[in-house]
């Protein structure tokens, strides 16, 4: 593990402390009758409605759209592969976002990327036992890529769906790009505040790719963001990079929804992903 990579990941984890608040407001808001877009589709709090299955010893959280819904009918030949942050599928906000994609009409699947050992929610607890070096060594590309490949196989063979949109957050963002690269089966990618994304991964995208970036993010600094934009432009694939003011690393999942700007950013990032997938997948 190179020191520079490690220190940026450590900064990432400090960012968690700054933005890791759990807001107390219920889902909804922004869905006023006069709105053009109903943002109440995004659940911020509440009880997840999906289920867990095990495939090849990988625990997978699945949320299925209501098949009678017109949104689901329009998207019935597609699935969203949801790649989590370090907190994994145990984090309620991850499960709720998976459910939100299902409410938007997409069959949505989130594998456990960490073999049952995601980062704990209290990652920064003083004296906590979490060892980031060890976590990143255990959960490198050699471990995570095969889990995602197996989940794609599950989607193709068990769920019988061929077209896959990949969405990834923080840790998972890098893998969203990797799985629309050469030889991979993703058809379109979205990532919010990706960390540890390499130039080769950006230049390697073979499908449309979109990014939601936080204003304050030590893992995607303004200089890194400009580099990302330049590399995506060179890739000749359709792309979009959106920067959300008043947000910090993690906002698309763990926004403090008591803060109207953060709540708006999280909802917009979700809607950005759905619009991107709708345009390039359906
Ligand atoms: C969340 O945002 C509200 C409103 O801006 C603020 O009062 C509160 O301190 C924030 N919570 C955390 C944990 O940052
Ligand atoms: C199955 O996965 C669990 C963690 O989710 C792990 O502890 C166990 O060793 C795995 N079993 C096999 C046979 O790989
Ligand atoms: C953290 O994990 C690394 C790699 O496994 C190990 O070398 C190091 O000693 C660990 N640090 C602590 C404080 O346990």
Catalytic pick among 85, 99, 112, 170: 170
260 lines ligand 1 (CB under 6 A): no
DSSP state of 181: S
Q: Residue of the nearest CA to atom 11 in ligand 1? A: 21
pLDDT, block means (10 residues), the chain with 282 residues = 44 39 39 79 97 98 95 95 98 98 98 97 84 96 98 98 98 98 98 98 98 98 98 98 98 98 98 98 94
Active site residue 217: yes
pLDDT at residue 34, as a whole number = 83
Pairing between strand 58-63 and 51-55?
antiparallel
pLDDT at residue 204, as a whole number = 98
pLDDT at residue 32, as a whole number = 56
Active site residue 170: yes
Domain layout of the chain by residue ranges: 3-281
List pLDDT tens digits, range 86-126.
Answer: 999 999 999 999 999 999 999 999 999 999 999 998 888 88
Q: Which ligand 2 atom is nearest residue 112's CA? A: 5
233 lines ligand 1 (CB under 6 A): no
Mutate to test the pocket of ligand 2, among 61, 88, 113, 115 (most ligand atoms within 8 A of CB): 115
Active site residue 199: no
Q: Which ligand 1 atom is nearest residue 22's CA? A: 13
List pLDDT tens digits, range 174-184.
Answer: 999 999 999 99
Supply angle C-alpha 83, 165, 185, rounded to 5.
90
Strands (E), 8-103: 51-55, 58-63, 78-83
Question: Mean pLDDT for the chain?
Answer: 90
pLDDT at residue 267, as a whole number = 98
Adjacent-strand bridge partners of 108: 63, 80
- The CATH class that applies to domain 3-281 reads alpha beta
The model's pTM is: 0.90
């Amino acid at each position: 593990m190179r020191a520079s990579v490690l220190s940026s990941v450590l900064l990432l984890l400090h960012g968690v402390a700054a933005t890791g608040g759990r807001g107390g407001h219920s889902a909804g808001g922004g869905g006023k009758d006069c709105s053009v877009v109903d943002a109440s589709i995004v659940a911020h709090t509440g009880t997840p409605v999906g289920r867990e299955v095990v495939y090849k010893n990988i625990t997978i959280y699945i949320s299925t759209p209501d098949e009678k819904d017109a949104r689901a009918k329009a998207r019935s030949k597609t699935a969203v592969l949801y790649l989590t942050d370090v907190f994994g599928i145990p984090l309620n906000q991850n499960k709720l976002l998976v459910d939100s994609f299902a409410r938007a009409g997409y069959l949505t699947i989130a594998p456990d990327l960490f073999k049952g050992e995601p980062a704990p929610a209290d990652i920064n607890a003083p004296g906590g036992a979490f060892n980031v070096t060890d976590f990143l060594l255990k959960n490198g590309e050699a471990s995570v890529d095969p889990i995602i490949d197996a989940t794609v196989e599950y989607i193709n063979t068990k769920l019988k769906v061929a077209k896959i949109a990949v969405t990834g957050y923080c840790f998972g963002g890098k893998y969203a790009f990797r799985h629309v690269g050469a030889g991979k089966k993703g058809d379109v990618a979205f990532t919010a505040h990706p960390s540890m994304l390499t130039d080769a991964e950006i230049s390697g995208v073979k499908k449309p790719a979109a990014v939601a970036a936080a204003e304050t993010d030590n893992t995607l600094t303004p200089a890194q963001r400009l580099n990302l934009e330049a590399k995506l432009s060179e890739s000749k694939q359709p792309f979009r990079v959106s920067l959300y003011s008043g947000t910090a690393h993690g906002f698309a999942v763990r926004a403090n929804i008591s803060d109207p700007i953060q709540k708006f950013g999280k909802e917009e990032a979700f809607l950005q992903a759905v619009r991107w997938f709708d345009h390039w997948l359906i």
